[in-house]
Amino acid sequence: MTDDHPRYVAKELDADDQLAHLRDRFVIADDDLIYLDGNSLGRLPAATPAHLDRLVRHGWGEQLVRSWPTWIEWGRRLGDRLARHALGARPGEVVVSDSTSVNLYKLAAAALDAAPADRRTVLVDAEDFPTDRYVVQGLAAARGLTVRALPSDLDDGLRLDRLRNALDHRVALVLLSTVSYRSGALLDMGAVNAAARAVGAVVLWDLSHAAGAVPVDLTGTGTDLAVGCTYKYLNAGPGAPAFLYVRREAQDRLRQPIQGWFGQRDQFLMSAAYDPAPGLDRFLVGTPPILSLAALDPALDILAEAGIDRVRRKGTRLGELLVELADAWLTPYGFRLASPRDPRRRGSHVTLHHPEALRISRALATEGRVVGDYRTPDRLRLGPAPLYTRFVDVWDAMDRLRDIAARRAWERMPGEPSRVT
Amino acid sequence: MTDDHPRYVAKELDADDQLAHLRDRFVIADDDLIYLDGNSLGRLPAATPAHLDRLVRHGWGEQLVRSWPTWIEWGRRLGDRLARHALGARPGEVVVSDSTSVNLYKLAAAALDAAPADRRTVLVDAEDFPTDRYVVQGLAAARGLTVRALPSDLDDGLRLDRLRNALDHRVALVLLSTVSYRSGALLDMGAVNAAARAVGAVVLWDLSHAAGAVPVDLTGTGTDLAVGCTYKYLNAGPGAPAFLYVRREAQDRLRQPIQGWFGQRDQFLMSAAYDPAPGLDRFLVGTPPILSLAALDPALDILAEAGIDRVRRKGTRLGELLVELADAWLTPYGFRLASPRDPRRRGSHVTLHHPEALRISRALATEGRVVGDYRTPDRLRLGPAPLYTRFVDVWDAMDRLRDIAARRAWERMPGEPSRVT
């Protein structure tokens, strides 16, 4: 069966890969384990342990509180690096702080509180990541607004049409993900922003599954607000702080509701009354977790060296190979593609549908030694992160998945829900 | 001048100190540097670098996303450890998450939204830490409530009287710090809670400057809500996540407004509508920063070995020595005590007033090699953390401070505001 799609073709693709050498910039502890879950937790950059150890021993242990004048700039400094290497934003528009959920809350609240009183609707995608929908549900309920969940689809043209039909002068806010956490479907940010702007609505983007995988052009697409995660394709480590973006021209007319001292004008004057800092600082709240923040630097070094456009090109080709092999090898076993077929309309992960996806993902991990992830109720997500995934990894992973499907090896696996973030 | 208070007395106190051996459990890179700022950033425990390195290399680098079933419990597990060793709370009442400011926001909002509509006032202390006041100002403004700042004082009896006079059936929430960040004044939590309960008001405590320094008995004092910081006396590292406490019986009738997926019932079912988890989990929001969280474990090992009561006894004696020397040596140079004189009414830091406190703190750090901190406009804070500060450190620090005052060495220092958290 492998004759139609021989492994040497994948090896040739690796030989031609301009980013192949970057795999050595990551810790690959077990070469037999195929890791296709960088869309959930990116791999450890090889430079990170020493970087963190130096911070801990020198910055904390020796310099102690005297490091704070440096540390206090890190959220902004790392935000500017992200803006430059991954997000297409200008300096002073991106800052790293808090979790994605808290950042969503801050920016969605700021947008809703700035909207005219007659705008009573928030639009979301019915299949967007739960935290996005939950945050907005809470904010809307507290303000007496209505949340309307638009049906999702793999066809971004259809999604855009539905959005345009739903957009009117009653819409205060639109919350969407650039890349769907579920299907990998990629939205045209510029088209969405333009459609929203035409009716005076604001769009808040969740870039969590896009940042570091596809080029994002926040300035060029006319984006006002965005948030995103740094522990997926940006490889900053488990639970690393998230980022938020506010277009420069919008910063001073927005206010977010969590009035912490890091958002205060002249923070260390410790004035009696809260007075939001000018610019992006007003979207900060409390003291940032420095150790978790620090891991973003060595990770961004690799991305900067690769260049996000080359990352995207490789990601597209990895996805194409994956889909080609899934079509050829897995269709007979009841799998079907649950991502857009056109690689230009897809992020870096590919989702397969199978009624037994949970047990299959478990068999794939334990017997196949391929780590992907499962999304309820029937999806298997495979995220070949371009910075460290080889074409042969994709080939081998699909070969092992085919073997598990052929042997029905998943039938021995437990079926209760998983707890993997 | 030193004859009245000879250094050998401090050496004798060290010889008698039951906790003296624990100093070796911390990294002391420079024995000549006297660090009296553990109330701002606690020292690095000696076991922490290896603990973090193992987490980074093994937990993240090798185990990758497969570590999440363990990591996802850490906020609760560390909360239970804190409850047991520092806070006097029961299992399932404390969780580590987010920053102190975000936790203040969540719990203050939850309390205000649960209060009867005719309770329109929030009481705070006029000299409480800025973020506490700012957070409450924002929540109150959004709800049309009034924030009343009670004048502070070094005399806790007077503060309690003022609070009792201000408490009536119109008060929804009282926000207070157990230990004042500024003066170190310690409040009687049980008395405050009882006075508030008598009029049906809820108290939210900020334990940031108390936790790890003075024994807190959340259960015994009848506390409903509290938050606090782990990077001061708890030594969990710069910006380490904060904790929050909600009394078990109050958990299910409160809701906080930041509806993230970590607060959702059956998180990984990813249901369409937010439904708060039962118990403490509903106060969580997003993915926690695991590297920053992890550093709390080795720090708590030392506290557990010491025992919070012994920490408190030593802290009291360190403070008494500091005040005794300040009285004897510094009064002639215009210093006066800005903390309660009775050590039982004070936390572990001591504050001195001097009109030139900013420049003095700088001269003390650069020429005296004593790190304390400055608080605007005229306070010098000295925090001799009991786990690693010797009595001779206090003696030497005060000797160096006296020398700087006598030589007016601070006159050469710049006077613009500082940026130290």
CB contact under 8 A, B68 and A421: yes
Q: Is residue A65 part of a domain?
A: no
Question: Nearest-CA distance from B3 to chain A in Å?
Answer: 33
Q: What total of structural domains would you count in chain B?
A: 2
Q: Is residue A20 part of a domain?
A: yes
Q: What is the pLDDT of residue A70?
A: 97
CA quadruple A130, A133, A138, A139: dihedral positive or negative? positive
Are B84 and B31 found together in one domain?
Answer: no
Q: Is residue B419 part of a domain?
A: no
The residues in A 249-278 lying below 8 A from B, measured between CB atoms, are 257-264, 266-274
Are A320 and A286 found together in one domain?
Answer: no
| Rounded-to-integer distance, Cα A191 and Cα A175, Å | 14
Are B406 and B359 found together in one domain?
Answer: yes
Question: Nearest-CA distance from B37 to chain A in Å?
Answer: 7
Could you give the 3-state DSSP secondary structure of residue B228?
A: strand
Catalytic residue among B206, B224, B297, B373, which? B206
User: Is the per-residue pLDDT at B328 higher than 80?
Assistant: yes
| Rounded-to-integer distance, Cα A263 and Cα A277, Å | 6
Q: Does A31 touch chain B (CB under 8 A)?
A: no
Number of Cα atoms under 13 Å in the Cβ half of residue A2:
12
| Rounded-to-integer distance, Cα B178 and Cα B185, Å | 8
Are B40 and B135 found together in one domain?
Answer: no
Domain-terminating residue out of B285, B303, B321? B303
Q: What is the pLDDT of residue B3?
A: 66
CB contact under 8 A, A239 and B290: yes
**pLDDT tens for residues A354-372?**
999 999 999 999 999 999 9
Distances (CA, A) of B2 to B15, B405, B408: 20, 15, 19
Are A228 and A119 found together in one domain?
Answer: yes
Tokens of B19: 């906790």
Q: Which residues of A are annotated as a binding site for pyridoxal 5'-phosphate?
A: 100-101, 129-132, 206, 209, 231, 261, 287
Are B240 and B340 found together in one domain?
Answer: no
CB contact under 8 A, A56 and B242: no
CB contact under 8 A, A43 and B56: no
Domain-terminating residue out of B249, B278, B303? B303
Q: Shortest CA distance to B35 belongs to which of B286, B412, B402, B372?
A: B372
**pLDDT tens for residues B105-117?**
999 999 999 999 9
Mean model confidence pLDDT for chain A:
96
Q: Is residue B53 part of a domain?
A: no
Q: What is the pLDDT of residue B418?
A: 56
Q: What percent of chain B has a predicted confidence (pLDDT) above 70?
A: 98
* Active centre residues of A (catalytic): 129, 206, 231-232, 381
Instruction: State the average pLDDT over residues B264-284.
Output: 92
- In this structure, what CATH number is given to the domain that contains residue B394? 3.90.1150.10
Strands B370-371 and B243-246: unpaired
Q: What is the pLDDT of residue A3?
A: 66
User: Is the per-residue pLDDT at B2 higher than 80?
Assistant: no
Mean model confidence pLDDT for chain B:
96
The per-residue b/e assignment along B21-32, b for 16 or more CB within 10 angstroms, e otherwise, is ebbebbbeeeee
Q: What is the pLDDT of residue A4?
A: 85
- In this structure, what CATH number is given to the domain that contains residue B210? 3.40.640.10
| pLDDT tier for residue B271 given thresholds of 50, 70 and 90 | confident
Q: Is residue B65 part of a domain?
A: no
Instruction: State the average pLDDT over residues B264-283.
Output: 92
User: Is the per-residue pLDDT at B421 higher than 50?
Assistant: no
The per-residue b/e assignment along A47-64, b for 16 or more CB within 10 angstroms, e otherwise, is bbbebbeebbbebbbebb
The residues in B 152-181 lying below 8 A from A, measured between CB atoms, are none
Could you give the 3-state DSSP secondary structure of residue B286?
A: coil
Our answer to whether residue B262 is catalytic in this structure is no
CB contacts, 8 Å: A60 with chain B: 41, 44, 237-238
Are B143 and B252 found together in one domain?
Answer: yes
Are B326 and B199 found together in one domain?
Answer: no
| Rounded-to-integer distance, Cα B84 and Cα B78, Å | 10
State which residue of chain A sits closest to B31, comparing Cα positions. A62
Q: Does B117 touch chain A (CB under 8 A)?
A: no
Are A144 and A285 found together in one domain?
Answer: yes
Which of B48, B268, B287 comes nearest A99 by C-beta?
B287
Are A22 and A86 found together in one domain?
Answer: no
The per-residue b/e assignment along A249-275, b for 16 or more CB within 10 angstroms, e otherwise, is ebbeebbbbbbbbbbbeebbebeeebe
CB contact under 8 A, B289 and A289: yes
Are A22 and A97 found together in one domain?
Answer: no
Catalytic residue among B133, B159, B282, B381, which? B381
Q: What is the pLDDT of residue A421?
A: 43
**pLDDT tens for residues B213-237?**
999 999 999 999 999 999 999 999 9
CB contact under 8 A, A268 and B99: no
Question: Nearest-CA distance from A362 to chain B in Å?
Answer: 11
| Residue ranges for chain A with pLDDT beneath 70 | 1-3, 417-421
Instruction: State the average pLDDT over residues B80-97.
Output: 98
CB contacts, 8 Å: B271 with chain A: 130
Q: How far is CA A191 from the centre of its chain?
A: 20
Tokens of B283: 């106060």
Question: Nearest-CA distance from A241 to chain B in Å?
Answer: 7
Question: Nearest-CA distance from A3 to chain B in Å?
Answer: 33
Q: Shortest CA distance to B315 belongs to which of B4, B5, B13?
A: B13
Tokens 């999304």 map to which residue?
A: A375
Our answer to whether residue B57 is catalytic in this structure is no
Residue B355: give the domain boundaries: 2-45+307-412
The per-residue b/e assignment along A23-43, b for 16 or more CB within 10 angstroms, e otherwise, is bebbbeeeeebbbbbbbbbbb
**pLDDT tens for residues B28-70?**
999 999 999 999 999 999 999 999 999 999 999 999 999 999 9
CB contact under 8 A, B49 and A56: yes
Tokens 């194409």 map to which residue?
A: A320
Q: Is residue B51 part of a domain?
A: no
| Rounded-to-integer distance, Cα A347 and Cα A413, Å | 30
Domain-terminating residue out of B288, B303, B318? B303
Are A221 and A76 found together in one domain?
Answer: yes
Which of A62, A241, A268 comes nearest B418 by C-beta?
A268
Q: Is residue A169 part of a domain?
A: yes
User: Is the per-residue pLDDT at B198 higher than 70?
Assistant: yes
Q: Does A64 touch chain B (CB under 8 A)?
A: yes
CB contact under 8 A, B102 and A102: yes
Q: What size, in residues, is chain B?
A: 421
CB contact under 8 A, A419 and B69: yes
Q: Is residue B54 part of a domain?
A: no
Q: Does B147 touch chain A (CB under 8 A)?
A: no
Residue pairs spanning A and B at CB distance below 8 A: 293
Q: Does A190 touch chain B (CB under 8 A)?
A: no
